[in-house]
Amino acid sequence: MIRLSAGDWRATLAPEQGGAVLSLDWRGEPVFRPTPEGATDILQTACFPLVPYANRIADGRFDFEERMVTLEALDRFAPHALHGDGWRMPWKVEIEASDRAEMTLDWPGQETGWPWPWRARQTVSLSDEGLAIMLSVTNLGGAVMPAGLGLHPYFHRAPDARLSLAATGVWLTDAREIPARLATPDAVVDWSEGVALAGAPLVDHAYAGWSGEAVLEGGGRRVALRGGDSAQWAQVYAPAGADFVCVEPVTHRPDALNAPVSERSGLVRLAPGKRLTVAMSVSASEI
């Protein structure tokens, strides 16, 4: 475990557990939902990286450059593949300091699974202003590969929490949780004016045209999330009655690998040696 601190901020990381953040606290109170003691399920951690794609790929299959690719679908998410491979593997620590850690993960490419080799790099740092995470993936192969990135934070949710997030659209999903069509945000929940999470329905949808900022107010404080320029989509996961809410900055919508060629789905064609990056910052203040 790696412990980071700066000013009023504290964080713990677990490179060996999918490069995950285990906790993020401000002034002794949780900003991210803390990981339960001894938890081995990465979905119980506070935040983890999504690489080389984010969210679901329908039936774990897609076609790229006339190549049919079949990915492993975990039993709990079958028949779909979910969140890439980085969250399921240990990362190597390259730099460790009191306020910063840098870790990498190399994927060799597999005949059964993601066939293109890549290297991911994740930098997690604290400052007086808060948390910053930078995640990148570099194509190590000799052919173009599809690529996408995201970060999956679980924010602590106070009983009076309100979420604000501006977007131009939301992807409605079919019975299999795969995007079916783009609609206006009010077709699910329009968060633009702030919505009390206690009264909101279950939401697990990708918001398009995201402004790049989300604000969570409650418990006497204001927590702000900002995504980098490449994070033009935000996946909101807000289970009814839960003690957390996820706002995930991502570079593409779910199942982008099966999107029509004419759609601007966010999927990147990454040339050999080229890199894709996504960033996230989190700050807090009293209200």
The residue ranges of every structural domain in the chain are 2-286
16 within 8 A of 40, measured Cβ to Cβ: no
What percentage of the chain reaches a pLDDT higher than 70? 100
pLDDT of residue 71: 94
- Tens of pLDDT along 105-163? 999 998 889 999 999 999 999 999 999 999 999 999 999 999 999 999 999 999 999 99
Alpha carbons 153 and 238: distance in angstroms, whole number: 12
Question: Does pLDDT of 220 surpass 90?
Answer: yes
Q: What is the pLDDT of residue 212?
A: 97
What was the pLDDT predicted at 95?
A: 97
Q: How crowded is the C-beta side of 227, counted as CA atoms within 13 Å? A: 28
Query: Domain 2-286's class?
Result: mainly beta
Residue 8 has pLDDT above 90, yes or no: yes
Q: Quick: pLDDT tens for 96-106.
A: 999 999 999 99
Q: How many residues does the chain have?
A: 287
Burial class (CB in 10 A: 0-12, 13-18, 19+), 144: middle
Average pLDDT, the chain: 96
Q: Give the model's pLDDT for residue 112.
A: 81
Residues 6+ apart with CB under 8 A from 75: none
Residue 16 banded pLDDT, cuts 50, 70, 90? very high
